[in-house]
Structure 1
Amino acid sequence: MKNLLLTTALIAAGTAGTAMAETAAHAGFTTEAAAEQIHASDFIGMRVYAAETGDVTESEGAGTEWEDIGEINDVIMNRSGQIETVLVDIGGFLGLGERQVGVSLDQVKFVSDSSTDDAEDFFLVLNADPATLQDAPEFTAGDMEDQAAADINEMEKDAAEATASAEASIEEAGDDVAAATATAVDNTEAALDEAGDDIAAAADKANAEMEEAGDDMAAAADEAGEDVADAAENTGEAIENTADIAAAEINEETNEMQRETAEMANDSDMAPFPGTPVEQDYLTAENLDGARVYDAQDKWVGEISELIVTEEGQITDAIIDVGGFLGIGEKPVALKLTDLQILRQDGGDDVRIYTAMAEEELEAMPEFEGK
């Protein structure tokens, strides 16, 4: 009897205790898919049957009581890679009159087809009454759009607060510079006043000595002149030292303001592409398949061709085709999802996927061998 190890996930990666690294030639990379894995690109578009199956896991061909209700259109996953909802197009004829419903993951049954020799043949069966599905509410993305808008508003609020804080810091630094300059000017004026008083006292003393003794008049005058020169020199040095101190204080305040500005710029975690992480409903196999991947210098290094997801519904790896020319000679390599950054352009719709690895490093990785 054949066993298909797919019961609770849309895209399986073997049993829960099996790590994909066991098939890899190098630690941290995946070079081939396990026998029980299913590619997301193969899953989209599969026909879906509806029946109250209970615990049925195997059937010889499609059950007579099953009803073909439509096909898989897409899957919705959260930012952690967990699959939350399966979107099914039901009703209509040749695509006309169809409507889309979202069902939870635990309603999807993978029923092995024992009528063939291929152990991987299976049916997708929704464990539900077909009549119930006809009355099911239609799926809309309104809630996710509202949440995305709320997230954007919150980020804009945080950015505004950071800008206000930076402006306040710059204004405070400017006030400190002005205060330091005013203090330096006051100190210089006081030093000049004190020097002037010393000069006046020396002159008065010289005049008194000149009146007392005629012979000593010249010497007293010379001495007074030397005192005046020394006082002037000392005054000049005091002014120069005071100016140096003021300049040093201004430079220190300016350097501190520049350091704070640099720290705020570093805290913003700027990417080479001015954007923000994509909204939750963008993370679907339909959007990620074929998406271009860029390195840290905004150079196009390849595109995503497949996604690997665990049986719990979490994306673990993205298969990227690198090298080649016009699609010829490309080499698929596997990267962990945590090594990729998915950004939407600020103020636009352009979405880019980034990796820290250069094209040469990607081409040197072991080739991923799918099934």
Structure 2
Amino acid sequence: MKRFMMTTALVMATATPAAVLADNHDAAASMFEAQSPAGETMDMKASNLIGHRLYMPEEGTDMGAMGEITDAPDNWVMAGEIDDVVIGKDGKVQDVLVDAGGFLGMGETERRVALDSIRFQPDADDEGEYFAIYTGDRKMLEETESYDEDASNEMGETLGTASWEGYGMNDGAEMQTVSFDSMTTEDLLGTTVYGGNDEWVGEISELALGDDGNVSAVILDVGGFLGIGERAVSMPMDKVELRRMGDEGDISAYVSATEEELMNMEEWTESES
């Protein structure tokens, strides 16, 4: 499950971002008020958004009657991953930057998504953890403007990752390599996969077993914008590296191949498993 933690602490009041970052170690929190599908509000730590998935429910879903969930339902598609947050001159989080995977025929597609178009659904089996849900439709996301760094700078905005650097964003945690042996199948399915250029390329969709009953390959779903045009490919386990930030961070997978190279690989089918 790709989720993120909420917190009830509240920081960043009236000072400018530069002043706050210079004087307050807790500025890495960049708190903002988030809203659940049912309309409830809570304070969220913006730095915990980075790297998490943005889901799009099936059209017509009643957001207010979603009920308890522990995993993203099958009728949700992953619209992209949250790369960063945009912080305004007032020190408040304005929008999020979503990597839509570059599947619109224009290369890398980083959309600037309005914060008020995202809702945060609690994970019923992990207290304090939530799913990020996009409330618009596919057409709305496709028409959302790409991030313009020059225009953003002119307006006095900053990116969260740049602002938090050196101010304890990860509380001293370091990226660690994780053994496949320490992971369960449930831990691995749905794990985000990054390519040779450290850009999002897909996710782990299945583990293929050899004749001896042991895992022989990792199946990746790559390509496809909003779940359309995905291609399943098989990668040997020794070509996939698992990493996590600190001891409690989410697991991510890394391969040396680029998205283009993965898309040109022979497609894997279930009959091969």
TM-score where L is the length of structure 2: 0.41
User: Of the two, which has the highest radius of gyration?
Assistant: 1
Higher strand share: 2
TM-score where L is the length of structure 1: 0.31
Higher helix share: 1
